[in-house]
Structure 1
Amino acid sequence: MGDTSCSSIEAQNMNSERNRGGWRSSPFIIGSMAGMSLASAGIIGNLIVYMIREFHVKSISAAQVGNVANGSTSLFPIVAAIMADSFFGSFSVALFSSFVAFLGTIILVLTTIIDSLKPKPCNNGSKLCNPPSNFQYAILYGGIALCAIGFGGARFTTATLGANQFNEAKHQDIFFNWFFLTWYTVSVVSFTGIFYIQDNVSWAWGFGICSVANLIGLVIFLLGYRVYRLENPQGSAFLNLARVLVASIRKWKSQLSSTTKDYYSAHDETVPVQPATIPGQRLRFFNRAALITDGDLQLDGSIGKPWRLSTVQQVEDFKAVIGILPLWSSSIFLSVPIGIQGSMTVLQALVMNRHIGHFQFPAGSITVVPLISTSIFLTFLDRVLWPAWHKLNGKSPTTLQRIGVGHVFNVLGIAVSALVESKRLKMVHSNPSVTMSVLWLFPPLVLVGLGESFHFPAQVAFYYQQLPRSLGSTSTAMISMLIGISFYLSTAFIDQVHKSTNWLPDDINEGRLDHFYWMLVVIGAINFVYYLVCSTLYKHTKM
Structure 2
Amino acid sequence: MAAAEIPPNITNSANSVQVTTSPDAKRGGWITGPFILVANLGLIMGVGGALSNLIVYLKREYNVKSIDASQISSIINGCTSVAPIAGAIIADSYLGCFCVIAVSAFVCLLGIVLMTLTATIHSLRPLPCTSGSVSCESPSTSQTAILFSGIALIAIGVGGTRFNIATMGANQFHKIKDQDSFFNWYFFTSYIAPIVAAFGIVYVQDNVGWGVGFGLCIVAIAISLAIFLLGQRYYRNLKPEGSPFRCLTHVVVAAIRKRNLRVTYDSKDYYYGHQGMGSLQPPSSSLSFLNRAALISQGDTQMDGLQAKPRALCTVDNVEDLKTILKIFPLWSTTIFLSTPIAIQLSLTVIQALSMDRRIGPHFSIPAGSFTVFPFLATAVTLPLVNYVLYPMWHKLIGRYPTPLQRIGVGHIINIISMMGFALVESRRLQVVHSHHLEDSPNSVAPISAMWLVVPQTIIGFGEALHFPGAVALYYQEFPKSLRSTGTAMTTLVIGISFYLSTAIVGLIRRVSTWLPNNMNQSRLDNVYWLLAVVGVLNFGYFLLCTWLYKYQSFEEQEKQ
Matching of residue 453 in structure 1 with residue 465 in structure 2: yes
On the 8 A contact 1:263/1:312 being kept in 2, the answer is yes
Partner of 2:121: 114
On the 8 A contact 2:337/2:536 being kept in 1, the answer is yes
Partner of 1:397: 402
SS in 1 for 2:546: helix
Partner of 1:5: none
Measured in 1, the distance between the counterparts of 2:63 and 2:456 equals 30
Alpha carbons of structure 1 residues 95 and 40: separation in structure 2 relative to 1, 3 Å: same
CA shift digits 1:431-488 (9 cap, x unpaired) = 2375211011111101011111112233234333433444455333321111111111
Alpha carbons of structure 1 residues 143 and 240: separation in structure 2 relative to 1, 3 Å: same
**1:48-67 correspondence to structure 2 within 5 Å:** 48-67=55-74
Matching of residue 466 in structure 1 with residue 473 in structure 2: no
Alpha carbons of structure 1 residues 414 and 104: separation in structure 2 relative to 1, 3 Å: same
Give the letter for the 2:528 counterpart: F
Alignment equivalent of 1:503, drawn from 515, 522, 525? 515
Alpha carbons of structure 1 residues 398 and 179: separation in structure 2 relative to 1, 3 Å: farther
Partner of 2:492: 480
Alignment equivalent of 1:150, drawn from 157, 169, 178? 157
Partner of 1:372: 377
Residue 233 of structure 1: how far off its partner (Å): 2.7
Matching of residue 438 in structure 1 with residue 450 in structure 2: yes
Residue 311 of structure 1: how far off its partner (Å): 1.2
Residue 300 of structure 1: how far off its partner (Å): 3.6
Residue 143 of structure 1: how far off its partner (Å): 0.4
SS in 2 for 1:80: helix
Partner of 2:351: 347
Residue 249 of structure 1: how far off its partner (Å): 2.4
Alpha carbons of structure 1 residues 448 and 107: separation in structure 2 relative to 1, 3 Å: same
Residue 244 of structure 1: how far off its partner (Å): 0.3
Partner of 1:123: 130
Matching of residue 321 in structure 1 with residue 325 in structure 2: yes
Partner of 2:141: 134
Greater mean deviation of Cα atoms: 499-508 or 172-181: 172-181
On the 8 A contact 1:31/1:217 being kept in 2, the answer is yes
- Percent identity between matched residues is 50
Matching of residue 429 in structure 1 with residue 441 in structure 2: no
Greater mean deviation of Cα atoms: 505-514 or 157-166: 157-166
Matching of residue 31 in structure 1 with residue 29 in structure 2: no
On the 8 A contact 2:404/2:471 being kept in 1, the answer is yes
Matching of residue 180 in structure 1 with residue 187 in structure 2: yes
Residue 229 of structure 1: how far off its partner (Å): 4.8
Alpha carbons of structure 1 residues 534 and 165: separation in structure 2 relative to 1, 3 Å: farther
Residue 234 of structure 1: how far off its partner (Å): 2.8
On the 8 A contact 1:72/1:484 being kept in 2, the answer is yes
Measured in 2, the distance between the counterparts of 1:86 and 1:273 equals 30
Greater mean deviation of Cα atoms: 13-22 or 53-62: 13-22
Alpha carbons of structure 1 residues 104 and 470: separation in structure 2 relative to 1, 3 Å: farther
Residue 322 of structure 1: how far off its partner (Å): 1.5
Greater mean deviation of Cα atoms: 340-349 or 376-385: 376-385
Alpha carbons of structure 1 residues 541 and 32: separation in structure 2 relative to 1, 3 Å: farther
CA shift digits 1:368-398 (9 cap, x unpaired) = 2111111111232234444555566665433
Residue 134 of structure 1: how far off its partner (Å): 0.7
Measured in 1, the distance between the counterparts of 2:351 and 2:345 equals 10
On the 8 A contact 2:379/2:461 being kept in 1, the answer is yes
Residue 298 of structure 1: how far off its partner (Å): 2.4
On the 8 A contact 2:267/2:277 being kept in 1, the answer is no
Residue 273 of structure 1: how far off its partner (Å): 13
Partner of 2:441: none
Alignment equivalent of 1:357, drawn from 356, 361, 367? 361
SS in 1 for 2:282: coil
On the 8 A contact 1:89/1:231 being kept in 2, the answer is yes
Measured in 1, the distance between the counterparts of 2:544 and 2:180 equals 23
Give the letter for the 2:256 counterpart: I
Alpha carbons of structure 1 residues 91 and 409: separation in structure 2 relative to 1, 3 Å: farther
Measured in 2, the distance between the counterparts of 1:148 and 1:182 equals 20
Partner of 1:338: 342
**1:412-427 correspondence to structure 2 within 5 Å:** 412-427=417-432
Alpha carbons of structure 1 residues 213 and 177: separation in structure 2 relative to 1, 3 Å: same
Give the letter for the 1:475 counterpart: G
Alignment equivalent of 1:200, drawn from 207, 211, 216? 207
Measured in 2, the distance between the counterparts of 1:462 and 1:165 equals 25
**1:2-21 correspondence to structure 2 within 5 Å:** none
| Length-normalised TM-score, structure 2 | 0.87
CA shift digits 1:228-275 (9 cap, x unpaired) = 55444332322221110121222233333333332211159xxx9999
CA shift digits 1:319-340 (9 cap, x unpaired) = 2221221121111111110011
SS in 2 for 1:360: coil
Give the letter for the 1:494 counterpart: V
Greater mean deviation of Cα atoms: 27-36 or 55-64: 27-36
Residue 302 of structure 1: how far off its partner (Å): 2.6
Residue 113 of structure 1: how far off its partner (Å): 1.3
Partner of 1:10: none
SS in 2 for 1:220: helix
Measured in 1, the distance between the counterparts of 2:82 and 2:277 equals 33
Alpha carbons of structure 1 residues 532 and 227: separation in structure 2 relative to 1, 3 Å: farther
Alpha carbons of structure 1 residues 273 and 176: separation in structure 2 relative to 1, 3 Å: farther
5+ residue gaps, structure 2, are 1-19, 439-445, 556-561
CA shift digits 1:342-364 (9 cap, x unpaired) = 11111011111111112111111
Alpha carbons of structure 1 residues 389 and 97: separation in structure 2 relative to 1, 3 Å: farther
Partner of 1:529: 541
On the 8 A contact 1:177/1:378 being kept in 2, the answer is no
Residue 175 of structure 1: how far off its partner (Å): 5.3
CA shift digits 1:86-109 (9 cap, x unpaired) = 222333333322222111111111
Give the letter for the 2:283 counterpart: P
On the 8 A contact 1:263/1:277 being kept in 2, the answer is no
Measured in 2, the distance between the counterparts of 1:318 and 1:114 equals 53
Partner of 2:311: 307
Measured in 1, the distance between the counterparts of 2:429 and 2:67 equals 19
On the 8 A contact 1:176/1:461 being kept in 2, the answer is no
SS in 1 for 2:273: coil
Alpha carbons of structure 1 residues 541 and 126: separation in structure 2 relative to 1, 3 Å: farther
Give the letter for the 1:409 counterpart: I
Give the letter for the 2:414 counterpart: F
Residue 127 of structure 1: how far off its partner (Å): 3.5
Give the letter for the 1:109 counterpart: T
5+ residue gaps, structure 1, are 1-12
Partner of 2:225: 218
Measured in 1, the distance between the counterparts of 2:378 and 2:278 equals 45
Measured in 1, the distance between the counterparts of 2:169 and 2:395 equals 25
Greater mean deviation of Cα atoms: 320-329 or 157-166: 157-166
On the 8 A contact 2:273/2:307 being kept in 1, the answer is no
SS in 2 for 1:435: strand
